[in-house]
Amino acid sequence: MIQETFGARLRRAMDERGPLCVGIDPHASLLADWGLNDDVAGLARFTRTVVEALGETVALFKPQSAFFERFGSRGLAVLETAVEEARERGALVLMDAKRGDIGSTMAAYAETYLRKDSPLFSDALTVSPYLGYGSLRPAVDLARESGAGLFVLALTSNPEGAEVQRAVREDGRTLAATMLGHLAAENAGAEPLGSFGAVVGATLGDLSSFDLAINGPLLAPGIGAQGATPADLPKVFGDAVRNVVPSVSRGVLRHGPDTSALRAAADRFAGEVRTALD
């Protein structure tokens, strides 16, 4: 039996549920806004509420691993449960861990998130390529084997990113353009969508100087609290906009802990994205 790729699962999820990724970012101030303590019990209640409210309607969850790791093994246990329960509800899970290293260390990171029998197995993982794209090869290979995907940091929404990502190589190409080229090569011939995506901030304005046609998904953070709106997507992403996965966190999560309010906020963003893309 041929294994279905992450790109195919993501395309179907976006078509059926709408092209929206909701972050799960249980930072201390948000827990406080929900009336929860900044402890493992508060973390567990927050995470469970988000997954139960949205797991059957959103295409993709993006838990930020750091907010769970700060509680040690008990926090990671909450994350393991969230990943399992989200996937049981039909949502895809993108683990936002931004891992990047070389050799056996990168292979160990890949096994943590991309090996099918791992407790933290996720549909996709964010990775950093700035030890050289080739350093990601263990993750690329295991993702292919497991039917998972990667999202590679390319043009991130934080202002500091430009000093690295827009640096120019000897061949005249920026580092970001180089990474996009590698991803296009990974996705060559994939249908209906490649499994190797890029992280490209929705707040960056005109990106027409970059070739975003990588035949893979473009994770677009910055919607909501960071200032970008769904209406900005066509002018930022141009012809590649159909493959954009807009990511919103606080714009939805601040409406909790009321589950109806969480669903209404996610539905509103998804509707605004559909309108912008149409």
Rounded to 5 degrees, what angle do the CA atoms 149, 208, 277 make? 65
Positive or negative torsion for Cα 70, 72, 75, 76: positive
Which is the catalytic residue, given 62, 98, 116, 235? 98
Structure tokens at 90: 């039909």
Please state at what angle helix 103-114 crosses helix 137-146, rounded to 10 degrees.
30
Helix H or strand E encompassing 244 = strand 244-248
What backbone torsions phi and psi does residue 39 show, to the nearest 5 degrees? -145, 180
Q: Does residue 98 have an active-site annotation?
A: yes
Core vs surface per residue 136-166: b (16+ CB within 10 A) or e = bebbbebbbebbbbbbbbbbbbeeebeeebe
Q: Is 275 exposed, middle or buried (0-12, 13-18, 19+ CB in 10 A)?
A: exposed
Structure tokens at 138: 């263990």
**What residue has token string 């953070």?**
221
8: which 2 tokens?
């195919």
Which residues are known catalytic residues? 98
